[in-house]
Structures are given as structure tokens and as C-alpha cells.
Amino acid sequence: MTLEKNNTIADHFSHLDDPRVERHRRHTLVDIITITICAALCGADDWVAIERFGKAKEAWFQGFLEWVRLFFNDPKALKYQLVTDFH
């Protein structure tokens, strides 16, 4: 097995189908996965911590993610984006 150089999280997960209802998608699935992985690697262990991490690193994420602005109405919003729209 040969590893390719310069693989990104987006490259790795871009083949995933997004099962959420299209009209409810505010953020790309790859962006949500990227923020979640980065947050977990930095110690986030629940949805509130992931949200806080995303807000704290918003300027950094804007450099390479499609999100123009990370906005969460409440601590459950990110989980809502990932879980409830999948039905």
C-alpha cells in the first residue's frame, strides 16, 4: 500500500454521500467532519467542546473550509446537523 502525499481530510472523505435533506444543509459534510476531527485531536470530547473549538478556530478554518462563518444557535446545533438531518 502506497500513501499519497498531500492527502487532506477533504480528499479522504469527499467520496461520502451526504444523506441529509439537501434544503436543510447549511454546511458541507466534509467541513463538519474536518472540524469534528480537528476538535477531537485537540481534546474535545463532546458536542459542546466541538462547538467551542469551531468558534475559537473560526478564522483559521475560514482559510481552507467552504464555511464562510461558523454559526451555531445552541450547543446542540452541530449534533443536529450531523444526526437529525440524516433521517
Alpha-carbon radius of gyration of the chain: 13
Q: Is residue 74 part of a domain?
A: yes
User: Which structural domain, as residue segments, surrounds residue 37?
Assistant: 26-86
Q: Is residue 65 part of a domain?
A: yes
The pLDDT of residue 83 is above 60? no
Three-state secondary structure string covering 23-64: HHCCCCHHHHHHHHHHHHHCCCCCHHHHHHHHHHCHHHHCCC
Helices (H) and strands (E) in the chain, counts: 5, 0
Q: Is residue 67 part of a domain?
A: yes
Residue-wise pLDDT for 21-78, tens only, equals 877 777 788 888 999 999 999 999 998 899 899 889 988 988 888 764 445 555 556 6
Q: Is residue 14 part of a domain?
A: no
Q: Is residue 3 part of a domain?
A: no
Q: Is residue 16 part of a domain?
A: no
Q: Is residue 5 part of a domain?
A: no
Q: Is residue 10 part of a domain?
A: no
pTM for this structure? 0.68
Domain count, the chain: 1
